[in-house]
């Protein structure tokens, strides 16, 4: 049974030490799973505050055997999911992953991702190197479903 | 095309055979292109299909309990059908969560319409797998799978495209392309409307009101 570290603040180098480290701001969330389900997705918002463009080249997490950026496209009602390869993030630009588009595909989950827990992620960028963070685990993009008016 | 391995030009008969072979290759390539490009037009034709040929109709699949699930079990109940697979990390949970949310917003309870999740990946999706997956959304969802033949028939009668596609990063080395259109049926089992993936919630809610019990 794996216990995810519950981190109040994402382990961003930039948040921890604003004067140093890369100005690569990452936030996001991961989709909850049920027992027995071995795959899920995480959605990240990456803001590159650096003066140079960069590329997200790899994602890893201790919770899944494999993490890879995939993109879903919809045409004529048919959805297709393909590997997205390295994701470019231009200088001063933001990449926003969303359901039905870019996402981090997680496969080989060792245990369910439970709502309220956090998923630790390690991102590797071509220029700034490693960025670590933990994202909240939710059922869907917003928790609007739980707060109906 | 010069043939570097032979010293003399091939006889005319052989050239003709080669021409025919290349023509066949071209025909095969065109057929493949048509097959690949077809889904986009197929979904677009759904409306015309619905007026010509009946969409939906009786079916028998396998329920989460491993026992046959027949469309007769839906008699008198409106339902929404979505095709997907449990290894689908993005669109499938998004769509099912959306349907669950829309049903909640209708405010007519969980019997307003049934939500059916039909696997297009029966090789991996056991009854147990679809059953567990359907529990993710904290509201009753009917997870269904079946034999490959049953699933093919089910997809065909709902005009849903499905294709196995290699993906080295996906579990077992493949993913599924599939129609993500939700089909809505009234309590008499009659096809009423579709909800397209790109369609906004207000339009989707209006359609769901038309079938809701």
- The residues spanned by each domain of chain B are 12-44, 56-211
Kindly determine whether residue A105 and residue B132, on different chains, have CB atoms separated by under 8 Å: no
Percent above pLDDT 90 for chain A:
75
User: How is B124-191 classified by DSSP, letter by letter?
Assistant: T--HHHHHHHHGGGSS--EEEB--HHHHHHHHHHTT--EEEEE-TTSGGGEEEEEE--EEEE-TTS-E
Kindly list the residues from chain A whose CB atom is less than 8 angstroms away from the CB atom of residue B104: 145, 148
Q: What is the pLDDT of residues B63-106, one digit of tens each?
A: 999 999 999 999 999 999 999 999 999 999 999 999 999 999 99
At A29, the pLDDT band (50, 70, 90 cuts) reads: very high
Q: What is the mean pLDDT of residues B174-194?
A: 96
pLDDT score recorded for residue A8: 39
Of A38, A79, A83, the CB nearest to B169: A83
pLDDT score recorded for residue A20: 58
In which region does residue B175 sit, left (phi positive, over 0), alpha (psi from -120 to 50) or beta (all else)?
A: beta
pLDDT score recorded for residue B14: 66
Of A68, A72, A144, the CB nearest to B91: A72
CATH number where A74 lies = 2.60.40.1890
- For residue A68, what are the domain limits? 13-138
Q: What is the pLDDT of residues B135-164, one digit of tens each?
A: 999 999 999 999 999 999 999 999 999 999
Mean pLDDT taken over chain A: 86
Query: Which tops the pLDDT comparison, A98 or B213?
Result: A98
CB pairs under 8 A between A and B: 123
ipTM of the complex: 0.77
Q: What is the mean pLDDT of residues A81-97?
A: 97
For residue B10, pLDDT beyond 70: no
User: How is B4-66 classified by DSSP, letter by letter?
Assistant: TT-SSPPPHHHHHHHHHHHHHHHHHHHHHHHHHHHHHHHHHTHHHHHHHSPS----EEE-TTS
CB distance from A57 to chain B under 8 Å? Answer: no
Secondary structure element (H or E) that encloses residue A74, with its range: strand A64-75
Measured distance CA(B160)–CA(B143) in Å, rounded: 17
Kindly list the residues from chain B whose CB atom is less than 8 angstroms away from the CB atom of residue A42: none
Residue A28 lies in a domain: yes
CATH of B56-211 given 3.40.30.10, 3.40.47.10, 3.40.50.1000, 3.40.50.620: 3.40.30.10
Query: Cβ of B156: how many Cβ atoms within 10 Å?
Result: 11
pLDDT score recorded for residue B19: 74
Q: Report B:15-74 residues touching A (Cβ under 8 A).
A: 39-44, 46
Number of domains in chain A: 1
Kindly determine whether residue B168 and residue A83, on different chains, have CB atoms separated by under 8 Å: yes
The two three-digit tokens of residue A42, written as one number: 């995480």
């Amino acid at each position: 049974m794996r216990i995810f570290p519950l981190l109040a603040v994402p382990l961003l180098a930039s948040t921890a030490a604003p004067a140093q480290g890369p100005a690569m701001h990452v936030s996001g969330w991961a989709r909850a799973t049920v027992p027995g389900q071995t795959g899920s997705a995480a959605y990240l918002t990456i803001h590159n505050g650096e003066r140079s463009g960069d590329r997200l080249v790899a994602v890893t997490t201790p919770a899944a055997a494999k993490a890879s950026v995939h993109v879903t496209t919809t045409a004529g009602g048919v959805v297709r999911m393909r590997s997205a390869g390295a994701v470019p993030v231009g200088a001063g630009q933001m990449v926003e992953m969303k359901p039905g588009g870019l996402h981090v595909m997680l496969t080989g989950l060792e245990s369910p991702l439970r709502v309220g827990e956090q998923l630790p992620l390690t991102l590797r960028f071509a220029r700034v190197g490693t960025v670590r963070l933990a994202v909240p685990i939710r059922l869907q993009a917003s928790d609007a479903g739980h707060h109906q008016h | 095309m010069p043939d570097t391995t032979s010293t003399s030009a091939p006889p005319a008969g052989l050239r003709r055979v080669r021409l025919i072979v290349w023509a066949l290759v071209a025909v095969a390539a065109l057929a493949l292109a048509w097959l690949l490009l077809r889904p986009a037009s197929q979904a677009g034709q759904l409306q015309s299909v619905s007026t010509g040929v009946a969409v939906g109709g009786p079916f028998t699949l396998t329920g989460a309990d491993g026992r046959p699930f027949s469309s007769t079990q839906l008699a008198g109940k409106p339902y929404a059908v979505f095709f997907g697979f449990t290894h689908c990390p993005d669109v499938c949970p998004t769509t099912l969560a959306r349907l669950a949310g829309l049903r909640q917003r209708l405010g007519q309870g969980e019997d307003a319409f049934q939500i059916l999740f039909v696997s297009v990946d029966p090789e991996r999706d056991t009854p147990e797998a679809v059953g567990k997956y359907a529990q993710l959304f904290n509201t009753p969802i009917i997870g269904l799978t079946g034999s490959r033949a049953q699933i093919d028939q089910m997809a065909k009668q709902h005009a849903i495209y499905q294709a196995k596609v290699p993906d080295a990063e996906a579990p077992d080395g493949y993913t599924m392309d599939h129609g993500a259109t939700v089909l809505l049926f009234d309590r008499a089992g009659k096809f009423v409307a579709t909800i397209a993936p790109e369609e906004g919630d207000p339009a989707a809610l209006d359609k769901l009101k038309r079938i809701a019990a």
